[in-house]
């Protein structure tokens, strides 16, 4: 591991590499944790990814992890032993805040751990920090009255996306090795795309949730990391049924850690997903990624999809106004003075669309979209497409206008700037975001690898090939220059 020349190199280790070094006794979990803390002090004032630092207890846990790697007291390392992991603040930790980024929830303390927090701790992962979100995790950017603006490490003028923006920023900035995320409309995949990281939207029910929202079949918790192997390692800890979540699926599904090459696989390429208008740089990077798969021996065929914006709009309007949006409306009715402007605007929008689109309208549109995807993917192993229609948007922007404006230029319709929601509608499909390149705006772009329902292994098989072919790892010459 000759590239380990300083604390920044340690902080940018992959989780799997770090554990190999721990096992070989070439690195201590304490040394790694100190490097991550030092990196945090250096970059956090710029990126603002953390809501809470748990460094003192993390260092104590790192000492215990080091003892396990040394075999003290007959103990052995667990699956995530000694790995610094940042947790999205919405993922409850007993005795800690549970605000969801809202002043309306100030002072709320969690009484129990969320299932995924419990599993990380049981697996020896060290939660050393908690990460920012937009208020109530309802936006595709990350800023709030409670925590301020979180910025993209690759270009601080831009957002890392949302709602798992703090988690993705932490990974890209080198202040965590793994992180937790969640996804109800793209909240894992959009930040992963904008930060050059790997984010997984698991099929519905694969990872247990907490509270009432797991009953919303658009959403789910999951992993985000810098490498495909790291995401596999965390997903294999997070997955499996939990009695607190009736929708969680058993038996536990364990992803393979070794995969065949993609040679001979049939992969569909769909750049526009029906009626999306794609920025030329995003399209170019998407096509280059598809070509990398073809060069690796896959049979890549470009296809069309008959999806319409009207059906997508009908689905999300009827769905969100009935479930998640109804919760936001409750907040707006009870404590409007404590909410962000964008939250209040969202509540008003939910009232309007709720009067125009019913839940049964949404279900009928969902059925059409799901059937059209199944028909388009018939005969293919997977589908690849862009994660977002544009390379990004500015930090602090609420996307409140009709158009996304970057550097004074209107680049996309606001509602159609991301391309993730259709796969929350197609909620049983596993979707893996991996990097597809960089844009001239100074930030990464991403693609979605979409599998057939519950065929998780296929998206990781393709992701592994692309990681090898495109070499996106965070080596010293491929990191943000913070």
- Helix ranges, 301-447 (H): 309-322, 324-334, 341-356, 359-377, 422-425
Amino acid 475: pLDDT: 86
Q: What is the dihedral of CA 8, 12, 15, 17, to 10 degrees?
A: -80
Per the CB < 8 A criterion, the answer to whether 164 and 121 are in contact is no
Amino acid 66: pLDDT: 98
Q: Which residues of the chain have pLDDT under 70?
A: 1-5
Per the CB < 8 A criterion, the answer to whether 69 and 22 are in contact is yes
Per the CB < 8 A criterion, the answer to whether 367 and 359 are in contact is no
Per the CB < 8 A criterion, the answer to whether 159 and 395 are in contact is yes
Spell out the residues 6+ positions from residue 28 whose beta carbon is closer than 8 angstroms to its own. Answer: 22, 62, 66, 69
- Tallying the residues shown for the chain, one arrives at 482
Q: For 358, which DSSP code?
A: -
- Token digits of residue 476: 């010293």
Strands 143-144 and 220-225: unpaired
* CA neighbor of 91 nearest in space, from 191, 155, 166: 166
Indicate the pTM of the whole model.
0.98
Spell out the residues 6+ positions from residue 12 whose beta carbon is closer than 8 angstroms to its own. Answer: 174, 226, 474, 479
Amino acid 2: pLDDT: 37
Q: Could you give all domains of the chain from N- to C-terminal order, each with its CATH number? A: 7-470 (3.90.1300.10)
Amino acid 4: pLDDT: 56
Query: What gap in Å lies between CA 80 and CA 211, rounded to an integer?
Result: 25
* CA neighbor of 245 nearest in space, from 189, 204, 186: 204
Query: What gap in Å lies between CA 118 and CA 243, rounded to an integer?
Result: 13
Amino acid 400: pLDDT: 86
Amino acid 7: pLDDT: 84
């Amino acid at each position: 591991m000759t590239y380990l020349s300083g604390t920044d190199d340690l902080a940018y280790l992959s989780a799997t590499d770090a554990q190999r070094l721990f096992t070989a006794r070439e690195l201590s979990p304490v040394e790694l944790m100190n490097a991550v803390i030092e990196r945090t002090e250096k970059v956090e004032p710029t990126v603002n990814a953390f809501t809470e630092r748990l460094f003192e207890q993390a260092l104590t846990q790192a000492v215990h992890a080091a003892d396990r790697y040394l075999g003290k007291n007959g103990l052995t390392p667990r699956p995530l032993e000694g790995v610094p992991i940042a947790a999205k603040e919405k993922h409850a930790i007993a005795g800690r805040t549970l605000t969801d980024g809202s002043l309306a929830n100030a002072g709320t303390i969690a009484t129990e751990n969320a299932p995924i927090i419990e599993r990380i701790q049981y697996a020896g992962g060290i939660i050393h920090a908690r990460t920012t979100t937009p208020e109530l995790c309802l936006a595709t950017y990350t800023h709030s009255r409670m925590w301020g603006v979180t910025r993209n490490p690759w270009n601080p003028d831009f957002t890392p996306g949302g709602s798992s923006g703090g988690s993705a920023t932490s990974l890209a900035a080198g202040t965590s090795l793994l992180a937790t995320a969640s996804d109800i409309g793209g909240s894992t995949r959009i930040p992963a795309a904008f930060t050059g990281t790997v984010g997984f939207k698991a099929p519905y029910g694969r990872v247990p949730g907490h509270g009432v929202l797991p009953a919303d079949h658009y959403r789910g918790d999951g992993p985000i990391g810098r490498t495909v192997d790291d995401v596999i390692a965390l997903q294999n800890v997070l997955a499996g049924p939990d009695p607190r979540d009736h929708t969680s699926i058993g038996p536990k599904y364990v992803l393979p850690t070794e995969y065949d090459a993609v040679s001979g696989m049939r992969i569909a390429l769909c750049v526009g997903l029906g009626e999306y208008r794609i920025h030329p740089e995003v399209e170019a990077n998407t096509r280059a990624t598809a070509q990398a798969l073809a060069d690796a021996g896959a049979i890549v065929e470009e296809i069309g999809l008959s999806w319409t914006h009207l059906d997508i709009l009908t689905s999300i309007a009827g769905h969100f106004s009935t479930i998640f949006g109804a919760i936001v409306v409750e907040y707006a009715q009870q404590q409007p003075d404590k909410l962000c402007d964008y939250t209040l605007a969202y509540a008003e929008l939910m009232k309007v669309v709720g009067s125009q689109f019913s839940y049964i309208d949404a279900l009928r549109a969902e059925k059409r979209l799901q059937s059209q995807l199944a028909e388009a993917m018939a005969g293919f192993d997977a589908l690849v497409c862009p994660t977002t229609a544009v390379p990004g948007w500015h930090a602090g922007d609420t996307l409140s206008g009709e158009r996304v404006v970057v550097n004074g230029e209107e680049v996309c319709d606001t509602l159609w700037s991301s391309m993730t929601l259709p796969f929350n509608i197609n909620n049983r499909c596993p979707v893996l975001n991996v990097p597809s390149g960089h844009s001239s705006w100074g930030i990464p772009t991403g693609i979605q690898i979409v599998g057939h329902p519950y065929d998780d292994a296929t998206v990781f098989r393709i992701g592994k090939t692309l990681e090898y072919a495109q070499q996106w790892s965070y080596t010293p010459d491929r990191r943000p220059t913070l």
